[in-house]
């Protein structure tokens, strides 16, 4: 009888090891026709639509969890979600400026400071931009 696991393995023949590690079942393919087209054949438009939907969801999620505290509470001098008039002068500055302000922070004429990344340093650039896109798209 072997004293250690290593000695036990060494005493087994190749056939014994093969029998112990053999597959327990087999896959039977009923048809050679693929169920779905390979990835490279899938519509790029479908992939873009899915990515776009995910970005929009991220924007709404970030807005609801963070941006709402200022942009959804009628805070004076802060553009409110859905209020085209309050967003118009902000949108006219261009999306690059909006993204920069959201990422780096900004204090407007109201004197109310918007902290960088809405005060959450763990947000990614993509999440911050998605939140800006969500607010702008919801306020045009």
**pLDDT tens per residue, range 28-53:** 666 555 444 444 444 445 555 566 66
Residue 31 belongs to some domain of the structure = no
- Number of domains observed in the structure of the chain: 1
Residue 101 belongs to some domain of the structure = yes
Residue 28 belongs to some domain of the structure = no
**pLDDT tens per residue, range 112-131:** 999 999 999 999 999 999 99
Residue 132 belongs to some domain of the structure = yes
Question: What does the angle CA 115 – CA 118 – CA 124 come to, to the nearest 5 degrees?
Answer: 120
pTM listed for this prediction = 0.63
List the CATH number of the domain containing 66: 1.10.760.10
Residue 2 belongs to some domain of the structure = no
8 Å CB contact between 118 and 128: yes
**Is pLDDT at 18 greater than 90 in this prediction?**
no
Domain of 106 in residue numbering reads as 44-137
Distance CA 50, CA 134 (A): 16
Residue 59 belongs to some domain of the structure = yes
Percent of the chain with pLDDT over 90: 57
Residue 54 belongs to some domain of the structure = yes
Q: What pLDDT was estimated at residue 133?
A: 97
């Amino acid at each position: 009888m072997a004293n250690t696991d290593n000695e036990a393995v060494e005493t087994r023949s190749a056939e014994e090891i093969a029998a112990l590690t053999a597959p327990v079942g087999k896959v039977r393919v009923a048809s050679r026709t693929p169920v779905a087209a390979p990835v490279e054949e899938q519509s790029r438009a479908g992939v873009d639509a899915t990515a776009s939907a995910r970005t929009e969801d991220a924007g709404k999620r970030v807005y609801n969890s963070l941006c709402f505290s200022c942009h959804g509470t009628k805070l004076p001098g802060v553009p409110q979600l859905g209020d085209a008039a309050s967003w118009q002068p902000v949108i006219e500055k261009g999306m690059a400026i909006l993204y920069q302000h959201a990422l780096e922070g900004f204090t407007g004429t109201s004197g109310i400071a918007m902290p960088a990344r809405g005060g959450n340093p763990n947000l990614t650039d993509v999440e911050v931009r998605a939140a800006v896109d969500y607010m702008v798209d919801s306020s045009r």
